Amino acid sequence: MADTMTPATTTTGADRHPDTGLELQSVLSGEMDEISRKWAVTGEPEHQPRRDYPPYRSTLLRHPTKDPQQVDPEGVELWAPAFGQRDVDPLESDLTIQRGGEPLGERMVVTGRVLDGEGRPVRHQLVEIWQANAGGRYVHQRDQHPAPLDPNFTGMGRTLTDADGVYRFTTIKPGPYPWRNHHTAWRPAHIHFSVFGTEFTQRLVTQMYFPGDPLFALDPIYQSIVDPAARERLVATYDHDLTTHEWATGYRWDIVLTGSHRTPTEDDTEGDL
């Protein structure tokens, strides 16, 4: 994993769009291809997003600039909330019933297991999700791109894993959306996942993607995990047996917390919204 800051490639006027002034996709794609070529020389496994990934321009702003400070984790956890069965209503896992009507878009079920590195279930853990609506827009004041808000969709839900480590959500497939990393920058459709232990200090955050998305090769956030095998662990699997007749499509996606098959998380690199 890269721990040093690398300046972004200097670009000229010809590398920027004349209307927006933003760098062209070809510039970013060239940088991503070069990073991938350098990684392929060694092929050393990388299981997490790189802290410093120049094509994802804001990693230069998000990169740690100060030395870590020692804290007492037990002292912090005395003030952090703990979650149990009584704290989460089962209806919170259905994002399609939170308002007065049906949200627009492709209804789907997302389910999977939360596992440790040995394949054992992680029981009764809080799992939260948040996502854009079918038009690719979040219910958030920072999201002002010209896509419609859905009055019947909040984009947020949570649940607890059961005794076998299984979680399950009913939701709407999110749409892709633009972001201003470069000209014509669009994020692949994804759902943000947050997994807690017993306190907020044990929180892990990651993203789940959908198979076959044409934006994968163009997206610096997805490509900031340079190891293709690790990237693939972020992609859900369509499951026709999980799909229900005339109701919802089905996707499966397991979250592995430790070990060599660990799901990449945003420990060091915060994503977008």
Q: How far is CA 114 from CA 95, 194, 270, in A?
A: 20, 11, 21
Phi and psi based region of residue 47 (left: phi greater than 0; alpha: psi -120 to 50; beta: remaining): alpha
Q: Do the Cβ atoms of 234 and 225 come closer than 8 Å?
A: yes
Could you give the CA distance from residue 161 to residue 123 in angstroms, rounded to a whole number? 6
Q: 3-class secondary structure for 178-210?
A: ECCCCCCCEECCEEEEEECCCCHHHCEEEEEEC
Phi, psi of 205 (to 5 degrees): -125, 135
Residue type at 91? L
Could you give the CA distance from residue 232 to residue 219 in angstroms, rounded to a whole number? 14
**Residues belonging to the active site:** 138, 177, 187, 190, 192
Name 111's Cβ contacts closer than 8 Å, sequence gap at least 6: 166, 167, 168, 169, 242, 250, 251, 252, 253
Could you give the CA distance from residue 36 to residue 187 in angstroms, rounded to a whole number? 19
Q: Do the Cβ atoms of 95 and 88 come closer than 8 Å?
A: no
Length of the chain in terms of residues written: 273
Structure tokens at 218: 């163009």
Q: What does the DSSP 8-state code read for residue 105?
A: S
